[in-house]
Structure 1
Amino acid sequence: MKRRPRSSVAGMATLKDVVFDCRHPASVARFWATALDGYDVAPYDEEELARLRAIGVDDPEDDPSVLVEALDGGLPRLFFHRVPEPKTVKNRVHLDLRAADREAEVARLIGAGASEVGRHEDWVVMADPEGNEFCVFPA
């Protein structure tokens, strides 16, 4: 596939966030913050804790919408949003990760709560703790 040159057309959309629907946002957010180099769960300041208390949430572990952001402030950010229904079918969108040592990274991610779903010639299909698929490729 050929890459198109970057455009500076006014009004063209740019990627801001990737949003995951999930049952327990805090734990899935922690997994992805661990999985991705240069990302961490956004810290809870007093303003954010007050916002949570105002909606009846006393513990950030029960936050219905958790943000994972790049340490350098770059995009995209990852949001993990609570939904009532469980995941029932294959993702229509997933993340592809690169790793210098694919096998070591697969083992590390399994240790962080992922599971291996399948293998292909150049990549490993995995699932996060709530079953959201993603792939790990060699760098």
Structure 2
Amino acid sequence: MPASFKDLCLDADDHQALADWWCRAMGYVRKDVHQPPKDDWARPAAWPVPIVDPAGVGPLIWVVPVPEKKTVKNRMHLDVVGDRDELVQLGATVVRRKDDDIEWDVLADPEGNEFCVFAPR
């Protein structure tokens, strides 16, 4: 086996704000994955932000600062189970609504990263 799954990474222009958005959208929390050298240590704001499912079910996601803006459709994306309208109220935009051809909605986060939303069953 040449590789095994580790984490997901999501590029962002404003990685702090996008990490907070995904935390609100999915109930994730920020996680300090490195032991601080001192009690008063704070993670530098320029570093990538790790967010995790507090229940330990979902994967760790790194929200990584990058200098370039998103310009084309994602080649890889997240699939989530959730409520389209609630995600739109949080700041997502609808890219494509479910229809006769697809059984899910395609949304974009505040930075334009597409993701698919499946209704809970």
Structure 2: stretches of 5+ with no match in the other structure:
none
Residue 47 (str. 1) matches residue 36 (str. 2)? yes
Q: What residue is the counterpart of 1:128 in the other structure? A: 109
Q: State the identity as a percent.
A: 36
Match of 1:69 among 36, 43, 52: 52
Cα distance between partner residues in 2 of 1:51 and 1:34: 22
Cα distance between partner residues in 2 of 1:119 and 1:130: 19
**Aligned-partner residue type, residue 106 of structure 1:** R
Cα distance between partner residues in 1 of 2:68 and 2:59: 25
Q: Looking at secondary structure, tell me which structure has more helix per residue.
A: 1
Q: What residue is the counterpart of 1:108 in the other structure? A: 86
Cα distance between partner residues in 1 of 2:19 and 2:93: 16
Cα distance between partner residues in 1 of 2:50 and 2:56: 12
Match of 2:20 among 16, 27, 30: 30
TM-score norm. by structure 1 comes to 0.70
Q: What residue is the counterpart of 1:118 in the other structure? A: 96
Cα distance between partner residues in 1 of 2:31 and 2:92: 21
Cα distance between partner residues in 2 of 1:16 and 1:32: 19
Q: How many residues align?
A: 115
Deviation for aligned residue 1:20: 0.7
Cα distance between partner residues in 1 of 2:4 and 2:58: 10
How far does the alpha carbon of each residue in 1:78-118 deviate from its partner, in whole angstroms, 9 at most, with x for none? 0011110100000000011123xxxxx11211121111111
How far does the alpha carbon of each residue in 1:2-40 deviate from its partner, in whole angstroms, 9 at most, with x for none? xxxxxxxxx564322100111111111111111214x21
Query: CA RMSD for the aligned pairs?
Result: 2.5
Deviation for aligned residue 1:73: 3.8
Q: Extract structure 1 runs of 4+ deviating beyond 6 A.
A: none
